Amino acid sequence: MIMKRQQKMIVSPKTWLAAAAGLAIAVSLTACAGPSALDVVGRQSITSFEKVMDTIPDRVKADEENVGWALTAPDDSARFIWSEDYSKAPLHDVMLELKAQPFLDAGLDPEKLPESYAFYEGDTLNGATEKLLMVGKKLGSDTPSYQGAATPLAAYEQIVDQYRDHINYHTSLDHFGVMLGDGNMFEWAKDMKTNGTDKSVQDKDIVFVLNPEPLVAAGVDPEKVEGWAYAQVTVELDGKMQEVWKFLKPFDLK
């Protein structure tokens, strides 16, 4: 899908391979509705997401066009966006927006992208006009009910309350995440200091995760996408662990 609207980080993929090798993309551990007293994952995902936003407050901004909020990567190359009103969100309710140039340089033909992707020009956080990609998922068409203001955290809580099956936990990295459909995700650390699973130093506080298959089918050479690691990660499907390829962009916020 190609859209128009008003509105390079260069890192060798090898830099991230060691850090990304242990990333486990797993299905949601719980599919209950809302962060009840028994829903440890849901409740802890809220408190940890709040800590991430508090660590980079200047990176969390209102996104009027998508009727919600956006968390922008430290290098301005990607954004995680979540809606505060599903009845008004124009395209998706949870999504990633990415600078398209690294993928264009690696051979992307936007005309070959599936309908789940949008390609357009827009303004980035630094005010520059860029070619952008967006991929995400529509959660619903309801109007959430808020007790007080629709803050970034309150909007995230609505996802946990109403669409709990899109929140998951990755044991190996001690990460929570929002599943964006088709293997795309946004993840953050439960504890930005220590990986609670293996007690190692946590250096992947947030991670943007892309399924490379649609991009490769649209002409991208995965080994030539600058700023994104192309690595195999462990995926749990139907109780079995499998190795799949992902594009990864992790950041250490502290």
- Would you kindly state where each structural domain of the chain is located, as residue ranges? 14-251
Is residue 180 within 8 A of residue 94, CB to CB? The reply is yes
pLDDT at 124: 66
Low-confidence ranges of the chain (pLDDT < 50): 4-21, 24-34
Q: How much is the pLDDT for 193? A: 93
The rounded distance, in Å, linking the Cα atoms of 250 and 228 is 9
Contact residues for 118 (Cβ-Cβ < 8 A; gap 6+): 1, 2, 3, 91, 133, 134, 135
How would you class 58 by CB atoms within 10 Å of its CB: exposed for 0-12, middle for 13-18, buried for 19 or more? exposed
For residue 48, count other CB atoms closer than 10 A to its CB. 19
DSSP three-state, residue 155: helix
Residues 103-127: tens digit of each pLDDT = 999 999 999 999 999 999 987 656 7
**Does pTM top 0.75 for this prediction?**
yes
Interval 185-224: pLDDT, tens: 999 999 999 988 888 999 999 999 999 999 999 999 999 9
pLDDT score recorded for residue 233: 83
- Separation CA 118–CA 59 (nearest Å): 23
